[in-house]
Chain A
Amino acid sequence: MTDFERRSIISGIGQSAVGRRLGRSGLDLTIDAALEAIADAGLTTADIDGIATYPGAGGGAGPGFSGPGTPEVQDALRLEVGWHTGGIEGAAQLAAVVNAVMAVGAGLARHVLVYRTVTESTEQGSGGRQGIGIGGGVGGGGGGVPRMGGTMQWSIPFRAYSAANWLAMNAHRHFHEYGTTPEQMAMIAVNARRNAVLNPKAVYRDPMTLEDYFASRLVTSPFRLYDCDAPVDGSTALIVSAAGHATAVDHAVARVEAVGTALRGRPSWDQFDDMTTMAARDAGAQLWTRTDLTPADVDVAELYDGFSFLAMTWLEALGFCGKGESGPFIEGGGRIALDGELPLNTNGGQLSAGRLHGFGFLHEACLQLRGEAGDRQVGGGVEVAAVANGGGPIAGALLLTREG
């Protein structure tokens, strides 16, 4: 029996303009990305019979985070779909892709439009570069004093407002247990910028040295400004198609090889059994149980860097280095450079290319597999790409291979 994953390909990709404060609506950007992806897949809107997003309307977590819901996009494009989904629970942002792959594998749909749209930069207005803090996710309440229920009541009242605060404690624990250093962690940001210089769509393209990194202000120790991703506006779309469609398009495609969707241990920012690993540990491990490929087969890694430290946890979770060894692995930055043994976050990641919230990595993985990544194309023929999304108690991973 063929695993459900290998019944699907990513037949087309599209991306809107990406930038700071574009001042355009999420729906407007989504339509651009969707139409580009549909055309890239050799299809028309009439062929699209499924639609999926993360998280979709009402997805919460702050202004500009959710993007338009699937009914809005269906209506705007006048799609006729046999299946649709949106939601924030699942294998991080990749849940939307995994759901589409399952729908195609189950025969519910043949061509699914999958998208992720953010307008967090415009929504921040003129307030300067901010994290996702008190403005998002704080419940209402009378008298001007916000009142917090649910899981956030265990962190927000202690002025731990942001994932930056929560994950900084994971990072310090990693430093403590394994001797990881700020200089090592800095290489995630420095490497990202090095690649962003070669990406015309990246939002920060000025070269950045290690000295520049350490000159940036502390946000919440050990995280500096350049350890935190940059909110942007933009939409990314892709078409998940039945594998047979590969021969109908005029370019190589990404075949879905395996997914990592596991959530084991306590799904909590502060009660997880191993603070140095988090949910990535089990999603990453599960991925390799669903394929004959191994970490050594991976040619490019596009690993979530909402904070620099998260990319390090993914390097370990996906077995590119041993547990606790991500610091020495990235030290000096050579191994993760475009011409290194494992090119990492080749588009500049969210740290420098912009926080397209997981889907920027998907788009870049497909470009690399197709050999269409321009000046930042990894040489030697990219056959296998790993994509990971999420941090803390949220994690999803995807392994893609080149076909055609």
Chain B
Amino acid sequence: MVPAVTLRRAHGGDVSGPAPFRVQPALDDDNRFFWTSGQDGRLRILRCRSCGYYLHPPLPRCPACGSRDVAPEAVSGRGEVFSYTVNHQSWDGDTDPYAIVLVALPEQDGLRLTSNLVNCPPDEARIGLPVRVVFEQNDRVWFPLFEPA
């Protein structure tokens, strides 16, 4: 039995769920905001304050307008499953199938996050499924995962 972990929801109502093994991101000054953003239940993406373009993964300068005035900005946390796979291979010792999803964020065309679909059986993953962010805290990282909305 894997240890329990708290899944933090933006809209309240934290739930307990199984905590799978996860490789941790190596935090640095460029990515810390993303991986700790869930502390207050909000998902943040780097955004250009000059032209409004979202930059993901983070970059030091906006590739759309060239501005250096970029800063993390909270997004809705809503999205839609753009594609998915249900993994059956035991890469990390866990043999339970799980769903990996590519979530399209509504804030910008083509803005996507690779993540996991949680709080539902993995076989419920399908393209077009509306989802919302939920954060799984592990040490000092809040992993942005998604559940059916």
Residues of A within 8 A of B (CB): 131, 133-134, 138-139, 141, 145-149, 151, 153-162, 164-166, 168-170, 172-173, 176, 217-223, 269-271, 273, 275
Contact = CB atoms under 8 A, between A and B. Distances in A.
A288 B70 CA distance: 40
B22 A159 contact: yes
B91 A168 contact: no
B23 A173 contact: no
Contacts of A145: 23-24
B100 interface: yes
Interface string B24-54: 1110100100000000000000000000000
A157 B25 contact: yes
B110 interface: yes
Contacts of A141: 24, 26
Size category of the B interface is: 20 to 34
Nearest to B93: A134
Contacts of B102: 169, 270, 275
Contact of B110 (A139, A221, A222, A273): A273
A271 B87 contact: no
A306 B85 CA distance: 17
A139 B23 CA distance: 10
B119 interface: no
Interface SS of chain B: strand
A379 B8 CA distance: 64
Interface of B: 20-26, 28, 31, 56-57, 82-89, 91-92, 98, 100, 102, 110, 112-116, 127, 141, 143, 145
A154 B86 contact: no
A226 to B, nearest CB: 14
B87 A220 contact: yes
Nearest to A270: B114
A220 B88 contact: yes
Given A158-B115, A275-B83, 7 more contacts: A146-B24, A149-B25, A162-B91, A170-B83, A219-B89, A220-B88, A271-B112
Give the top 9 A-B pairs by smallest Cβ distance, nearest first.
A168-B85, A149-B26, A169-B83, A147-B26, A161-B91, A173-B83, A153-B25, A133-B91, A220-B87
Given A168-B85, A173-B83, A159 B92 contact: yes
B29 to A, nearest CB: 12
Contact of B89 (A149, A153, A176, A220): A220
25 contacts: A131-B89, A134-B92, A139-B26, A147-B23, A149-B26, A153-B31, A155-B114, A157-B22, A157-B23, A159-B21, A159-B100, A160-B87, A160-B114, A162-B89, A164-B89, A168-B100, A169-B102, A172-B84, A173-B83, A220-B85, A222-B85, A270-B112, A270-B113, A271-B56, A275-B83
A147 B25 contact: yes
Contact of B20 (A146, A159, A273): A159
A154 B26 contact: no
A269 B21 CA distance: 22
A142 to B, nearest CB: 11
Q: Which of B84, B100, B143 has the most CB of A within 10 A?
A: B100
A169 B86 contact: no
Contact of B87 (A139, A165, A176, A273): A165
Contacts of B31: 153
A147 B24 contact: yes
A147 to B, nearest CB: 4
A275 B83 CA distance: 9
A176 B83 contact: yes
B25 A148 contact: yes
Nearest to A149: B26
A154 B114 contact: yes
A220 B85 CA distance: 6
B3 to A, nearest CB: 14
Contacts of A151: 57
Contacts of B21: 159
Nearest to A161: B91
A364 to B, nearest CB: 29
Contact of A271 (B86, B110, B143): B110
B37 to A, nearest CB: 14
A154 B83 contact: no
A158 B84 contact: no
B87 A159 contact: yes
A213 B23 CA distance: 32
B88 A172 contact: no
Nearest to A139: B26
Contacts of B57: 151, 154
A169 B100 contact: yes
A309 to B, nearest CB: 11
A237 to B, nearest CB: 33
Contacts of B23: 134, 138, 145-148, 156-157
A222 B23 CA distance: 24
